[in-house]
């Protein structure tokens, strides 16, 4: 279209360079602006989906606590933030369309007036038919210019997604999954002896230490309760055992082997954990949830289910162990899901078991079944129990009290409850007079029995 116009009206060549310069200037502004707006729109969209997922999973809690107006307000704020970014992105597209239309109106006006003037003065002989063809082709340039700018900007905008993917790809990876030395650890850990020496851990380099110079030793076969106020570092310690968080300095040794020198696959398969929130994999059968790799016999699976008093429950399902688990394990109660997770740990028969507040969301009956199954299936294992409820760990051999990422106290329950103004003794008193008396008597009676 431009070539036809220049051929028919050579004098228009004089105004093409300024218009091209203006076109490139508009494109540069538009591309730069929309790239950042697209990034802001993408960042503002993520909280909406995250909040929808969180609200759906916790809808019962939200309704029971009458927090619907609060969550509606939070959702509206997140939606408004996304709408602001998206509206600015759409407005920038309208802006560039107006600018491109303005360029073409200016170009057509100059061409028309110049053609009439040059033809009237006799400076150029212009065929009206050819002039009409050239002008009609120039009219199409407005759409072509906008298409070119938007397509070039869209390529750059879509690269924001690539940029985010590359950002995730550049995150530091976990440690080595498998090491040659793992072949020598087939029976590790054989005893379950634990030694933590000056362990310091932080979640990110820019954040303060979550655990600082934590040191303690646990004999093999001991049952240890880990307690502390919220934010004391209990869950951080559990993550450090599995190297979900790497130690900044210090060490964790199990049977004299530093876990930092063990491949992640070997480490995580030799330690068992029962989490606070039980996890069952949807789309898999009950048996596949208990034995994902199919290494155990049907008899072993039945024995594990029997130990946790879930055999009858599973047998009553339409297809027994072959029954599919619904999304999130919704065809089982929370207590039943917790018992199934315990059955999964029993099948592994590891000498080291970590309980991350497994009884926080279950009733007392399920708690009793858990404790009974632990006593029967892990008589000689080293068990570390993270708990908020002191009555679940008062009968343990040792108590570890954490506070602000440090070891405040470590010893037997009887020793700690008798410390005047001790941290654990204070926590016992805070449970109430009757509960405190019961906890003290249980701790002291355990010492007398031993």
d(CA 91, CA 241): 52
**89 — pLDDT class (breaks 50, 70, 90):** confident
Is residue 228 over pLDDT 60? yes
Is residue 268 over pLDDT 80? yes
Please report the pLDDT score of residue 9 as a whole number: 67
**Which residue, 34, 5, 33, is CA-closest to 19?**
5
**Which residue, 116, 112, 106, is CA-closest to 136?**
112
**95 — pLDDT class (breaks 50, 70, 90):** confident
Please report the pLDDT score of residue 121 as a whole number: 72
Number of helices (H), then strands (E), belonging to the chain: the values are 16, 10
**8 — pLDDT class (breaks 50, 70, 90):** low
CA angle in degrees (0–180, nearest 5) for 104-134-150:
40
Mean pLDDT across 173-179: 80
Mean pLDDT across 141-160: 73
**59 — pLDDT class (breaks 50, 70, 90):** confident
Q: What's the start-to-end Cα distance of the chain, in Å?
A: 99
Please report the pLDDT score of residue 447 as a whole number: 59
Percent of the chain residues past pLDDT 90, beyond the cut: 2
**Which residue, 93, 100, 107, 52, is CA-closest to 74?**
52
Q: Dihedral sign, CA of 178, 180, 183, 184?
A: negative
d(CA 28, CA 21): 11
Is residue 12 over pLDDT 70? no
Please report the pLDDT score of residue 332 as a whole number: 82
pLDDT, one tens digit per residue, over 325-344 is: 887 777 788 778 888 888 88
- Strands 249-254 and 194-201, bridge-based pairing: antiparallel
DSSP 74-102: HHHHHHHHHHHHHHHHHHHHHHHHHHHHH
CA angle in degrees (0–180, nearest 5) for 69-67-358:
150
Is residue 106 over pLDDT 60? yes
Please report the pLDDT score of residue 383 as a whole number: 86
DSSP state, 330? T
d(CA 254, CA 115): 91
d(CA 170, CA 127): 63
Tokens 């070891």 found at: 407
**358 — pLDDT class (breaks 50, 70, 90):** low
| Domain 182-411: CATH class, spelled out | alpha beta
Is residue 449 over pLDDT 60? no
d(CA 13, CA 129): 20
Please report the pLDDT score of residue 187 as a whole number: 80
Q: CB–CB of 385/414 below 8 Å?
A: no
Is residue 448 over pLDDT 60? no
From residue 216, alpha-carbon distances to 251, 252, 394, 400 in Å are 11, 10, 19, 9
Please report the pLDDT score of residue 413 as a whole number: 86
**Which span out of 53-57, 84-88, 152-156, 431-435 was modeled with the highest average pLDDT?**
84-88
* Sequence-separated (6 or more) residues with CB below 8 Å from residue 303: none
Phi and psi, residue 198, nearest 5°: 45, 50
In terms of pTM, does the model score above 0.85? no
d(CA 99, CA 26): 8
| Domain 2-169: CATH class, spelled out | mainly alpha
Chain Cα centroid distance, residue 444: 43
Is residue 143 over pLDDT 80? no
Domain ranges, ordered by start, for the chain: 2-169, 182-411
Sheet holding 272-274, edge to edge: 272-274, 352-356, 382-386, 223-228, 398-403, 406-411
Please report the pLDDT score of residue 113 as a whole number: 79
**Which residue, 156, 400, 359, 393, is CA-closest to 275?**
359
């Amino acid at each position: 279209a431009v070539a036809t116009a220049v051929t028919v009206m050579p004098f228009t060549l004089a105004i093409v360079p300024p218009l091209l310069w203006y076109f490139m200037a508009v494109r540069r502004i538009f591309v730069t602006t929309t790239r950042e707006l697209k990034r802001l729109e993408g960042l503002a969209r993520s909280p909406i989906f995250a909040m929808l997922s969180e609200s759906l999973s916790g809808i019962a809690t939200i309704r029971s606590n009458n927090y619907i107006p609060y969550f509606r307000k939070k959702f509206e704020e997140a939606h408004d933030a996304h709408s602001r970014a998206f509206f600015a992105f759409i407005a920038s597209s309208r802006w560039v369309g107006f600018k491109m239309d303005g360029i073409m109106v200016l170009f057509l006006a100059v061409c028309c007036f110049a053609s009439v003037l040059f033809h009237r003065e006799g400076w150029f002989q212009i065929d009206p038919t050819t002039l009409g063809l050239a002008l009609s082709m120039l009219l199409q340039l407005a759409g072509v210019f906008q298409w070119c700018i938007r397509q070039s900007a869209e390529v750059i905008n879509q690269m924001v997604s690539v940029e985010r993917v590359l950002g995730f790809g550049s995150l530091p990876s976990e440690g080595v999954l498998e090491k040659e030395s793992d072949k020598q650890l087939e029976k590790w850990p054989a005893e379950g002896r634990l030694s933590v020496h000056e362990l310091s851990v932080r979640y990110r380099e820019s954040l303060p230490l979550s655990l600082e110079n934590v040191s303690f030793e646990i004999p093999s076969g001991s049952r240890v309760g880990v307690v502390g106020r919220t934010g004391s570092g209990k869950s951080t310690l559990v993550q450090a055992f599995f190297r979900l968080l790497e130690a900044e300095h210090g060490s964790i040794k199990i049977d004299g082997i530093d876990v930092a020198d063990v491949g992640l696959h070997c480490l995580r398969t030799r330690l068992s954990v029962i989490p606070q929130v039980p996890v069952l994999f949807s789309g898999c059968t009950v048996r596949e949830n208990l034995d994902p790799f199919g290494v155990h016999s049907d008899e072993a699976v039945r024995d594990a289910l029997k130990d946790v008093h879930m055999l009858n429950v599973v047998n009553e399902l339409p297809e027994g162990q072959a029954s599919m688990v619904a999304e999130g394990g919704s065809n089982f109660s929370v207590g039943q899901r917790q018992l199934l997770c315990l059955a999964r740990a029993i099948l592994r028969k590891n000498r080291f078991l970590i309980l991350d507040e497994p009884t926080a969301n279950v009733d007392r009956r399920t708690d009793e079944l858990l404790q009974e199954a632990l006593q029967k299936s892990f008589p000689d294992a080293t068990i570390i129990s993270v708990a908020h409820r002191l009555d679940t760990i008062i009968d343990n051999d040792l108590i570890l009290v954490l506070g602000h990422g440090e070891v405040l106290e470590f010893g037997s329950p009887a020793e700690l409850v008798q410390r005047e103004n001790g941290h654990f003794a204070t926590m016992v008193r805070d449970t109430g007079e009757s509960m405190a008396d019961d906890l003290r008597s249980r701790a002291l009676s355990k010492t007398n029995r031993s």
